[in-house]
Amino acid sequence: MTGFFLALALAAYFLASLAYILHFSYRRGYLSWTATGLVGLGFASHSVALGLRVAHLTTLPVTGFYDFFSVFAWVVILAYGVAQITLGIQQLGLFVIPISFGALGAGLVLGGDALPQPEVFQSVWLSLHIAMAFLGGAIFVLLFGVGLMYLIQEHQVKGKHFGTWFYRLPSLQVLDDVNRKALVLGFPILTLGLVSGSLWAETARGSLLSWDPARTLPLVVLWGAYGVLFVARLTAGWRGKRAAFFSVLGFFGVLLTYLLHL
Amino acid sequence: MEIIVAGLSHKRSPVEVREQVYFPESELGIPLRQLKGRSEIEEAVLLSTCNRVEVYARVRDSQKGVQAVKEFLSHYHEVPLETLEAYMYAFSTREAVRHLFRVASSLDSMVVGESQILGQVKGAYQVAREMGATGLYLNNLFERAFQTAKRVRTETRIGENAVSVSYVAVELARKIFNVLREKKVLLIGAGEMAELAAQHLVQLGVHSVLVSNRSFPRAQELAQRFNGRAVLFDDIEGELVNADIVISSTGAPHYVLRRELFQQVIRKRKNRPMFLIDIAIPRDIEPDVNTLDHIYLYDIDDLQQVVSANIKERQREAKRGEELVDQETTGFLLWMETLEVVPTIVSLRERAEACRQQEIARARAKLGPLTSEEEETLEALTSAIVNKLLHAPIAQLKRHAGSNDAYEYLRIARNLFDLDD
């Protein structure tokens, strides 16, 4: 059953991505509705699959490539939905939904079993750590999306290329605002994830610093990098192109560190 | 029944010809009455703008109808028929309906997507309707034309991107700043185009306008118009730090604002973006300024380039508009057919019945008194022949009633059976 719902979700994300691409080129109203509907369908089906998975494992499905990617894709869709309902950014789906599709697809291809982690539900810190880590990651995916959109639009306005992108993408100001909001929200969440992770490590292993450097060091570096961006953005006028560029770069950092941390 | 249009437009005729056949809007009454008075024309609407003069009409025969319109234009304006014919176009039925829908939707305009033409078509229709020159067919046709225009406007973005330099400047500002409410504008030099662009910006509610000019009184005058403030020409450098949008149009023979200056300005602004519009010739702002981050510099050629890009974008959108027009055209023709299939069948039957009665009367006159049995046989025989002969054409007409070629079938049927006298 889980397999069926996952396949349905995967297909829906794929078709939604396709609909976003077609909508970008042809801008028919029905394509936009179709894409939104498909994302909704995919998300619902994906949620059912995750629910079944939780019932099966009796823990949060967050270890192993398969579960990690599946949950990650799901949280990204969730964050995308919230962003679209509250902010409504044209063409954001074009940049974000394919990432979810790719993540879920990668999870299904890579497979990998979950390690039983019965302590998850007992430890507040671990639950918080996991929730914040995924949420933070998803927000950084959105940051990546709007960052990329900003770079494309900036290139159009600066270089005076007036192609389809110029007309379809939102204004620089909108994209930069969303970038700021996502960073202001995402960085504290990432911090919270890091802190709760350490606290959990302390309760579980007796020491705040009993960390495995290979797993933890990249995470601290990532946190530092976003921290620099966060502070510079708020105080030193790191806005626009530079902020967008680092948001795009940061995404690859997130991907890499999360995988190492797994 | 057929719908025709005949006329001339900017596409195929020069203004020297169009002005000869132009009807001033206030004087449409007399020509309309003359048109309506012609036996070939049942209903008529006369559309006259500076880009086109067209007559839309419902006629019984499209060729005769078109000829009548041509003769009317020629007589009314005393222009030789041959001159007109060289420039005129004429369409009937599907093409005529499509043409009107395209015109109303501004797909046939010189600047595709301009919004004026719809009002002009509405005006022309209004006048014709009030004069009683229109009836069932043209009323429905024009109502649908307005619906089509509305659909094209809302479902495509045909009218969305500016096609004049000063509006383009405003649009670019919105692509950078999104909303202009909080933005501050600095005018350097007080040329006409700068004034126009500033006016658009003020309409969009920019926060404030500063004006600086070599002649301070002129700066003050302009500042007053925009409820802004005049600044001395020498204070510009200080004011730049607070300006989000700069429109420069001085008559200076060399660059007035250089890259080093903007380097400092943007640093002081903490990288808040700036939009610089240089419409001076020779240019005021060193072109290199555009290489600085957070600064977007456009000169007059760049703006012109946006105008052409926007025109292309409109043309892309126009393709979608054409699809909508096609749909609506088909819709109207279907309506026309349902209106005509039933009357055609009825008049076909009536004509056959009239023939039959005539022939029976003639036969009776020859045969003398008949027994009731013979009477019955005669009736049955003639009825059977008529019904058998009519069965196929009527069935065909009914079968094609909703299809694309229904109109052709109706026309041919009315022609073959001579139903239109």
pLDDT tens, residue by residue, B49-79:
988 999 999 998 899 999 999 999 999 999 9
According to the model, what pLDDT value does residue B404 have?
Answer: 61
**DSSP annotation string for A137-163:** HHHHHHHHHHHHHHHHHHHHHHHT--S
Q: Worst-scoring range by mean pLDDT, A110-124, B23-37, B354-368, B406-420?
A: A110-124
User: Could you tell me if A156 and A164 are in contact, meaning their C-beta atoms sit under 8 angstroms apart?
Assistant: no
Between B149 and A196, the more confident residue is B149
Q: Return d(Cα B418, Cα B414) in angstroms, integer.
A: 6
| Whole-number pLDDT of residue A122 | 66
User: In which band, very low, low, confident or very high, does the pLDDT at A20 lie, cut at 50, 70 and 90?
Assistant: very high
Give the pair of three-digit tokens for residue B145.
């034309």
Residue B421: what pLDDT?
A: 60
Active site residues of B: 50
Tell me if B3 sits within 8 A of B56, measured CB to CB.
Answer: yes
- What number is the average pLDDT over the span B134-142? 91
Provide the shortest C-alpha distance from residue B14 to chain A (in Å). Answer: 33
pLDDT of res. B139: 93
Selecting from A157, A160, A172 the residue whose C-beta is nearest the C-beta of B305 gives A160
Angle B75-B76-B82 from CA coordinates, rounded to 5°:
45
pLDDT higher than 90, residue B294: yes
Hey, which residues 158-197 in chain B have their CB within 8 Å of chain A?
A: 161, 172, 174-179
Mean pLDDT of chain A: 87
- Give B313→chain A minimum CA distance, Å: 8
Q: What is the pLDDT of residues B356-392, one digit of tens each?
A: 999 999 988 888 888 889 889 999 999 999 999 999 9
Chain B residues in contact with A236 by the CB 8 A cut-off are 270
Picking from A109, A151, A105, the residue whose alpha carbon sits closest to that of residue A12 is A105
- CA B224 vs CA A93, B219, B230, B248: distances in Å: 47, 9, 8, 18
Of A47-51, A119-123, A200-204, B371-375, least confident by mean pLDDT is A119-123
pLDDT-based confidence at residue B341 (cuts at 50, 70, 90): confident
Could you tell me the two tokens for B83?
Answer: 């001159």
Sign of CA pseudo-dihedral B274, B275, B279, B283: positive
Instruction: List strand residue ranges (DSSP E) for A54-206, in order.
Output: none
**Sign of the alpha-carbon dihedral angle for A85, A87, A91, A94:** negative
Contacts of B379 by beta carbon, 8 Å cutoff, 6+ apart: B360
Opening angle at CA B257, ends B254 and B258, nearest 5:
95
Tell me how far the alpha carbon of residue A60 is from its chain's centroid. Answer: 18
One-letter amino acid for residue B36 of the chain: K
* Nearest residue of A to residue B289, measured between CA atoms: A158
- Judge whether B319 is closer than 8 Å to chain A, CB to CB: no
Q: Is the pLDDT of residue A208 over 60?
A: no
Residues of B in contact with A27 (CB under 8 A): 157
Strand partners, B92: B4
pLDDT exceeds 70 at position A119? no
Round to whole Å and give the CA distance between B95 and B175.
40
Contact yes or no for B310 and A173 at CB 8 A = no
- Checking if the pLDDT of B338 tops 80, the result is no
Pairwise pLDDT comparison (B167 vs B119), residue with the higher score: B119
DSSP assignment string, B402-415: TSTTHHHHHHHHHH
Residues of A in contact with B178 (CB under 8 A): 170-174
Structure tokens at B412: 């041919």
Which residue from A29, A153, A237 is facing B270, i.e. has the nearest CB? A237
Is the pLDDT confidence value at B285 over 90?
A: yes
Res. B47 pLDDT band, cuts 50 70 90: very high
Please list, in sequence order, all residues whose beta carbon lies within 8 angstroms of the beta carbon of residue A67, skipping any fewer than 6 positions away: A53, A61, A107, A112, A114
Closest CA in chain A for residue B172: A157
Which of A24, A160, A161, A172 to mutate to test binding with chain B, by most B CBs within 10 Å of its CB?
A160
User: What does the angle CA B224 – CA B228 – CA B234 come to, to the nearest 5 degrees?
Assistant: 100
**Cβ density class A165-184: b for 16+ within 10 Å, e for less:** ebbbbbbbbbbbbbbbbbbe
Average pLDDT over residues B303-326: 89
- For residue B137, which phi and psi values (nearest 5 degrees)? -70, -55
Q: What pLDDT shows up at residue B215? A: 85
Return mean pLDDT, chain B. Answer: 89
Residues from chain A that touch B313, judged by Cβ atoms under 8 A, are: 162, 167
CA distance linking residue B221 with residue B227, whole number of Å: 10
Distance CA A117, CA B111 (A): 68
Between B287 and B195, name the one with better pLDDT.
B287
Instruction: Answer whether B278 touches A (CB < 8 Å).
Output: no
Question: In B156-299, which residue ranges form alpha helices assigned H by DSSP?
Answer: 165-177, 192-203, 216-225, 236-240, 259-268
Whether chain A has a CB inside 8 Å of the CB on B301: the answer is no
pLDDT of residue B64: 93
Specify the pLDDT at position B402. Answer: 61
Rounded CA-CA distance A180/A177 in Å is: 5
The single-letter code of the amino acid at B124 is A
Of chain A residues 49-108, which have a CB less than 8 A from chain B? none
Alpha-carbon distance of A181 to A175, in angstroms, equals: 10
Coil/strand/helix, residue B182: coil
Q: Does A207 touch chain B (CB under 8 A)?
A: no
Q: Which residue has the higher pLDDT, B160 or B134?
A: B134
Strands ordered across the beta sheet of B52-59? B41-48, B52-59, B2-9, B89-92
CB contact under 8 A, B176 and A238: no
Q: Is B261 exposed, middle or buried (0-12, 13-18, 19+ CB in 10 A)?
A: middle
Type of residue found at A13: Y
Pairing of strands B89-92, B2-9: antiparallel
The answer to whether residue B307 neighbours chain A at the CB level (below 8 Å) is no
- Contact of A33 with chain B, judged by CB distance below 8 Å, is answered with no
